């Protein structure tokens, strides 16, 4: 990983759709001396995403895209990524499914954070489903993105206990707190194994 520190930090794009609390923690991580990444671009499918304010605050290039026509959206995003020399994509609460074509065309790694202990609870509304099924544990997972939803190679997971008093809201909050620690850790692990 030493070779990625300093000027050689890997140029990274973070994709978001909403609050961007993971984006915020990734920005903090990228500013650490030992960080292997430099966040050069934030992409959102929603121009009202609250997370875009972090891009503004930290003067990171940002780009919102309307997903009416997926092919066109893919094309425009790929163009932006190329222009910014992006070598790593981090999905952080990005609620669109990347097309197979996009995944094949972007020749560099794509990572995602998912709010469950994959391979359990792929897809949406994980916390509601976990509570409904009376699970004893849940957590979050950082994994590589491949052509199948939430199914790429797992890099790291963090498990937490579910208490009787928990509901989907309290779980969301507690899992999110862990996500903010897990994503930077997983990026470090992933890049040091390249």
Annotation marks residue 143 as catalytic: no
The rounded radius of gyration (Å) of the Cα atoms in the chain is 16
Report the C-alpha gap between 178 and 115 in whole angstroms: 10
Residue nearer to ligand GAR on the CB measure, 16 or 89 = 16
Residue nearer to ligand GAR on the CB measure, 1 or 109 = 109
DSSP characters over 56-108: HHTT-EEEE---SSHHHHHHHHHHHHHHTT--EEEESS--SPPPHHHHHHS-S
Report the C-alpha gap between 124 and 83 in whole angstroms: 32
The answer to whether the beta carbons of residues 186 and 178 sit under 8 Å apart is no
Least Cβ distance, residue 14 to ligand GAR (angstroms): 9
Biggest CA pair distance of the chain: 50
Least Cβ distance, residue 71 to ligand GAR (angstroms): 22
Least Cβ distance, residue 93 to ligand GAR (angstroms): 3
**What residues make contact with ligand GAR under the rule CB under 6 A?**
16, 18-22, 51, 92-93, 113-115, 176, 179
Q: Tokens 């903090």 belong to which residue?
A: 28
Least Cβ distance, residue 17 to ligand GAR (angstroms): 7
What angle do helix axes 168-192 and 21-30 make, rounded to 10 degrees? 30
Residue nearer to ligand GAR on the CB measure, 4 or 44 = 44
Residue nearer to ligand GAR on the CB measure, 75 or 157 = 157
24: CB partners within 8 A, 6+ apart: 51, 54, 180
Residue nearest to ligand GAR (CB): 93
- Return the active site residues: 114
């Amino acid at each position: 990983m030493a070779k990625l520190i300093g000027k050689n930090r890997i140029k990274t794009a973070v994709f978001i759709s909403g609050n961007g609390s993971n984006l915020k923690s990734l920005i903090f991580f990228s500013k650490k001396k030992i960080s292997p990444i430099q966040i050069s671009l934030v992409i959102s499918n929603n121009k009202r995403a609250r997370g875009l304010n972090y891009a503004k605050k930290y003067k990171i290039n940002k780009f919102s895209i309307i997903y009416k026509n997926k092919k066109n959206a893919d094309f425009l995003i790929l163009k932006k990524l190329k222009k910014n020399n992006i070598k790593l994509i981090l999905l952080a609460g990005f609620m669109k499914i990347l097309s197979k074509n996009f995944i094949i065309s972007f020749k560099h790694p794509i990572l995602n954070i998912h709010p469950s202990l994959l391979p359990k609870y792929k897809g949406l509304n994980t916390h509601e489903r976990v509570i409904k099924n009376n699970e004893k544990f849940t957590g979050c997972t950082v994994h590589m993105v491949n052509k199948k939803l939430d199914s790429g190679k797992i890099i790291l997971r963090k498990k937490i206990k579910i208490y009787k008093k928990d509901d989907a809201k309290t779980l969301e909050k507690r899992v999110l707190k862990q996500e903010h620690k897990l994503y930077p850790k997983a990026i470090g692990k992933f890049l040091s194994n390249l």
